Amino acid sequence: MKEPNKTSQRHTKPLLVIAGQFQNGKSTFLNCLLGGNYAIEGEGTLATTKCNAKYVYGDFSEIRTIQSDKSASRRQDAAFFSRGASCCDAQCGMTLQISAYSPVLQTMDLLDSPGFAANAKDDTAADEALRMADFVVLVARKTLDNKSDINFLQNITEKGKHFTVIFNCYHSDRPDSAKSRKTCSEIFAQLKNAKLDSNYIQLAEDFPVYPVNLLWAQCALGYLTEDEVTGKLEAVKHYLKKENLTPAVLLDASNFLPVRDRLQNIVGTFFNYTPHTALNLLQNVADSWSGELIDIFKNKETSNV
């Protein structure tokens, strides 16, 4: 049977790269975006994602391994698939291409990069991911540090790429709590002081850096097994002091949906079928670029409502 050639189509789709220090919740964020348990999530301790894993739209699940010399091989066994990106830790330098059926992938490809600052090998993979990226989402768990985060973002800015930062709150914290807001504005100040705001895209006006509670989102989105959810849900119930917790309430509290929609909008509107180099033109259009962008989203949202 002749395989459908999707290459050309794939190339025209924008690539959203999820980056951040190891164990900040990149894979969790990706799974939340995809709505399925695709990437292996760590326990917050060891670096789990060992090589770049690219997620593309496909009607059926499939994994391709693309070696550094561009040769591709196809595998489709469930065991391999379920182990996802961590299975190929022995072969760094290659990229996994995972096809999945997820609405988010219709407008963009996603790339889960290994966390940086764990070891040198992982950083190479993260750099490689950055090279391919159209838009970067940095997942942070606390204020940025000069050593790795700021360096990484400077690298992004130098390459002319645009990025946003998402703050993954502590398990028990509400994204809209004063504490989270404080951290977000601190992170934003760091970006500004490091002169990184030129390429920074603010996802919402009221949050300079967007806070989400990925644990809550994860529980609410329903892609985890029942066992996994029960354990986590107990804790969440305690945090939220609510006994009757519906997924809708939890999802709302997690602040995740807006970020998903906005990312889809941004990437869909501005990067879809647009070579990323054209962005430089947009960059010059106005200083209040991100503000305008938000206005657009707002209008769009109100019209949707």
Residue numbers at the binding site for other proteins (CB under 8 A): 21-23, 42-47, 117-120, 123, 141-143, 145-148, 150, 154, 157, 167, 170-174, 177-179, 182-183, 185-190, 192-195, 198, 231, 234-235, 238-239
What is the smallest separation between the CB atom of 200 and other proteins, expressed in angstroms?
13
Q: Rounded to an integer, what is the distance from CA 176 to the centroid of its chain? A: 20
Question: On the CB side of 67, how many CA atoms lie within 13 Å of its CA?
Answer: 7
CA 102 to CA 252: how far, in whole Å? 21
Which of residues 42 and 84 has its CB atom nearest to other proteins in the complex?
42
Which of residues 13 and 174 has its CB atom nearest to other proteins in the complex?
174
Q: How far is CA 117 from CA 15, 81, 125, 147, 253, in A?
A: 23, 27, 11, 9, 31
- Residues 142, 147, 150, 153: what is their CA dihedral angle, to the nearest 10 degrees? -110
Which of residues 24 and 107 has its CB atom nearest to other proteins in the complex?
24
What is the smallest separation between the CB atom of 205 and other proteins, expressed in angstroms?
16
> What is the enclosing helix (H) or strand (E) of 212?
strand 210-212
What is the smallest separation between the CB atom of 18 and other proteins, expressed in angstroms?
18
Dihedral sign computed on CA atoms, order 130, 269, 272, 37:
positive
What is the smallest separation between the CB atom of 212 and other proteins, expressed in angstroms?
14
Which of residues 40 and 117 has its CB atom nearest to other proteins in the complex?
117
Which of residues 61 and 177 has its CB atom nearest to other proteins in the complex?
177
For the chain, the first-to-last Cα distance in angstroms comes to: 45
Which of residues 154 and 274 has its CB atom nearest to other proteins in the complex?
154
What is the smallest separation between the CB atom of 150 and other proteins, expressed in angstroms?
6
Q: Rounded to an integer, what is the distance from CA 82 to the centroid of its chain? A: 20
Coil, helix or strand at residue 259: helix
Q: Which two tokens stand for residue 106?
A: 């219709």
Which of residues 234 and 301 has its CB atom nearest to other proteins in the complex?
234
What is the smallest separation between the CB atom of 58 and other proteins, expressed in angstroms?
33
Paired with 16 in beta bridges are 110, 135
What is the smallest separation between the CB atom of 45 and other proteins, expressed in angstroms?
4
* Residue 90 burial (CB count, 10 A): 7
Candidates 36, 64, 61; CA nearest to 52 is 64
